[in-house]
Amino acid sequence: MSKKPHSVKVPTQYRATAKILKAALEQQKCIKTLIFAEKHARTRSLHTVLKKFSENRVAVEKAIEETGLLRDNPSFDPSLAKILVTELLFARKELNGESKPVQTPAEMGKKNRKQQQVDVVASAATDDSPAVIDSPAEHHTQPEDTSAEVFLWLLAYSVLMFTLPFLGFYGVRSWLQESFPHLDLFTVNCWSVLTAVVVVNLVVAMYVLKAFREKPPPPLEPVQQDEEEEPEAAEPKKDHLAEALEYLYSEDWRRKELPADASYADFLTAIKSLEEDEFMTDLHVEGVLIFPPKWSNYWVRHPLVHGKRFILQNKATCLAAELLAPPTGATVLDMCAAPGMKTMHICNVMQNKGCIYAVEQDYKRYNTLCDITEEAGCAIVKPIFSDALDLTPERFADVEYILVDPSCSGSGMQNRMTVCDEPKDDRRLQKLQGLQIKILSHAMSSFPNVKRIAYCTCSLWKEENEQVVQRCLQLNPSYKLLSCKKALRNKWHNVGDTDYPNIGKNVLYCLPESDLTDGIFLALFEKRREGEVD
Ligand SMILES: C[S@@+](CC[C@H](N)C(=O)[O-])C[C@H]1O[C@@H](n2cnc3c(N)ncnc32)[C@H](O)[C@@H]1O
């Protein structure tokens, strides 16, 4: 065993990951919390290696055991050994750095790839006292009894997945998600496919919330748990997207870019083939970032999402504010606002300048609307607890832009059990349609200074969409439809049913199977000028 005159340190990333693993195993602490409390490391790579370890724990520990890595090197940190072996066998399949503890398994890994065998070699107990134990190439990554275990798990899993659908009760899917949070969305969605619910793996979309608060939120760095001091108030940075991109690059995300003249088909092809560590900026909505579906759980729990620096929002619903396009300083009425996702996005589009009346008739939901918009620092939002049908022209004479997003069947929502297996309930649809027509028609007839109205539902039924539009145009001839597709520079595919003349081609559908978003319907109306006819 030779001592190196100058030891080379194990890379911070491995040491940090090993530290987290140790705390998680010994103190039963939540890995996510530990990851985000880790100051100096790239949280996403920590997440990847730790996830791989938890998926392959049996195999990793078996490999360490059978090679005698820890037995022969008692001072080797067991957590570091687990991380290095995981990285080598199940993650990047190579190790960074020149330190002896890293170098020896790395060389071994090369040999291993050639021989298709696991040949974990122990290195030094510490950086300065490297010990190399060359083990014969007889240890496989998946020991036989592990395969048997995997087989049994798969069998049990398949039985569960094939049996549950026949139980046929609503909410099983959400029960699965709540009870087994480690099942990722893909797994849960696979189960839903088995139940004949058409669920696609939707891309993850989020946008960067501009710094609204007088005192800007902390910079885009992982939030420190034990942070005591409030960050210094400073001028908000101008380009929030650039700041977000910088943050993502520092976390090893790669941006996939398209040529400026890329079509919507090109865009869809590109997002379908996003690599695990790639993201894209959206083709239609400025500031929206698109990630592969597998990262949905990661982002849902991310501190920057919790801190409302990034707002996770289905891309389709971001189109409402994009199409309404109120300029900075405008006066907007959001007639059915809670919980406030679109209100917040409109506020972002307006750069928090102007005024947004956000109306909600359900008290609990109204409170959520108040909380969400306040937390996000949306200073221009004025929440109003009221029935939208009671709003009077006198009080809202200044309104120029209106969003109508009424209650609907929700048949386009992908996270529900009700997508395709729920029979069409004509009576319910008729009732909903009545309310939708009332609210949209009230928007069109009651406010004298309105320029544009966006109507949207998360339903795929024509009763709530084309038919509502048709009836409201009949009742309010002072309005005309604008082409949503044109507003998206023709970079869109799915429009409405052309059996509704002058309506189908102008309205827009987002469809899960083709657009990888929730199922959403959108229509855009403009007030005619004096004497204007078709
Ligand atoms: C589809 S949700 C709106 C989602 C919201 N725009 C968002 O993006 O977060 C419909 C909301 O409208 C509310 N609502 C329904 N009818 C209403 C009415 N007549 N006046 C005010 N709010 C109404 C419902 O209580 C519900 O919260």
What are the tens digits of pLDDT across the range 432-454? Answer: 999 999 999 999 999 999 999 99
DSSP string, 457-469: ES---GGGTHHHH
* Contact present, 187 and 161 (Cβ < 8 Å): no
The confidence band for 113, taking pLDDT boundaries of 50, 70 and 90, is very low
Helix (H, G, I), strand (E, B) or coil at 1: coil
Ligand 1 pocket: which of 343, 360, 371 to mutate (most atoms within 8 A of CB): 360
Q: Annotated catalytic residue: which of 336, 378, 456, 458? A: 458
pLDDT attached to residue 106: 58
The alpha carbon torsion through 295, 299, 300, 306 (nearest 10 deg) reads 180
Instruction: Give this prediction's pTM.
Output: 0.67
Ligand 1: nearest atom to the Cα of 340? 9
Place of tokens 């504010």: 321
Q: Known catalytic residue: 347?
A: no
Ligand 1 centroid to Cα of residue 406, in Å, is 5
Ligand 1: centre distance to CA 255 (Å): 36
Range from 117-126, 203-212, 300-309 that averages highest in pLDDT: 300-309
CA-388 nearest atom, ligand 1? 20
Of 217, 165, 191, 415, the closest CA to residue 297 belongs to: 415
Residue 388 CA to ligand 1 centre (angstroms): 9
Structure tokens at 325: 């396009």
Structural domain boundaries of the chain?
Answer: 12-98, 156-208, 253-297, 315-527
CB 121 within 8 A of CB 133: yes
Atom 12 of ligand 1 has which residue's CA nearest to it?
Answer: 336
Match 């957590």 to its residue by tokens. 79
Name the 3-class secondary structure at 490. Answer: coil
Look at residue 224 in the predicted model and tell me its pLDDT: 46
Convert the pLDDT of each residue in 313-368 to its tens digit: 999 999 999 999 999 999 999 999 999 999 999 999 999 999 999 999 999 999 99
**How far apart are alpha carbons 17 and 75 in whole angstroms?**
18
State the complex-level ipTM: 0.99
Instruction: Output the known binding site for S-adenosyl-L-methionine.
Output: 360, 387, 405
CA of 340 to the centre of ligand 1 (A): 9
- Give 407: exposed, middle or buried? Use CB within 10 Å, 0-12, 13-18, 19+: middle
**CA 98 from centre of chain:** 37
CB 441 within 8 A of CB 475: yes
Quick one: which atom of ligand 1 is closest to the CA of 365?
Answer: 27
CB 517 within 8 A of CB 510: yes
Q: What is the pLDDT of residues 360-409, one digit of tens each?
A: 999 999 999 999 999 999 999 999 999 999 999 999 999 999 999 999 99
Q: Read off the pLDDT of each residue in 194-221 and give the average, rounded to a whole number.
A: 57
Sheet containing 310-312: which strands, arranged edge to edge? 254-255, 278-281, 288-291, 204-208, 310-312
* Range 315-527: architecture per CATH: 3-Layer(aba) Sandwich (3.40)
